């Protein structure tokens, strides 16, 4: 095996250092791009469940049986000559739509949580509290929803 004598070789250390620094800068730029993409994706995946859970709230309010809002009509049972136009039952198609939106919201929360935890392994990234808040709200709403509507969802 031949031995190399580095003293005889003409090495340009400045050129080598420059190339290594350039490579390091390119790697840092790529990591920054990936970090920005990941943070943007986690933020978007946290925002969407907030919007979906707001839509679930509106759907449940719309699907619920109607109630009269006037104090006089509810307290004194006075209708001023007109019969009340109140829906007596739940609109189960809207309830099912709310169930689907809750499942989508829960899935997005889990994905955002996973991205957040994987990003936390790197230095300088913070855990988004919003992911935990919307995840908790979604889970609690899902539990209450299933306690009230499990028969409608599974025996439709």
pLDDT at 107: 93
3-class state of residue 3 by DSSP: coil
Calculate the CA dihedral of residues 108, 114, 117, 120 and round it to 10 degrees. Answer: -80
Say if residues 108 and 52 touch (Cβ distance below 8 Å): yes
Indicate the length of the chain as a whole number: 156
pLDDT at 106: 92
pTM, 2 dp: 0.68
For 82-136, the DSSP string reads S------S--HHHHHHHHHHHHHHHHHHHHHHHHHHHHHTSTTPPPPHHHHHHHH
The pLDDT profile of the chain, 156 residues, written as one tens digit per residue, is 556 555 555 667 777 788 888 888 888 888 788 878 877 888 888 899 999 999 999 999 888 887 655 555 556 666 555 555 667 788 888 988 999 999 999 999 998 888 888 777 666 667 778 888 988 999 999 899 889 888 877 776
Exposed, middle or buried, 125 (CB in 10 Å: 0-12/13-18/19+)? middle
pLDDT at 130: 86
């Amino acid at each position: 095996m031949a031995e190399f004598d580095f003293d005889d070789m003409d090495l340009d250390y400045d050129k080598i250092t420059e190339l290594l620094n350039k490579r390091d800068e390119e790697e840092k730029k790529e990591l920054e791009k990936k970090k920005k993409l990941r943070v943007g994706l986690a933020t978007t995946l946290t925002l969407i469940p907030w919007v979906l859970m707001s839509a679930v709230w509106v759907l449940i309010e719309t699907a619920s049986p109607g109630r009269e809002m006037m104090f006089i009509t509810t307290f004194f049972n006075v209708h001023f000559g007109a019969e009340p136009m109140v829906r007596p039952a739940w609109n189960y198609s809207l309830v099912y739509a709310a169930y689907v939106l809750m499942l989508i919201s829960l899935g997005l929360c889990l994905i955002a949580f996973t991205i957040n935890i994987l990003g936390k392994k790197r230095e300088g990234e913070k855990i988004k509290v919003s992911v935990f808040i919307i995840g908790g709200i979604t889970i609690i709403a899902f539990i209450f929803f299933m306690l009230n509507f499990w028969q409608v969802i599974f025996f439709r």
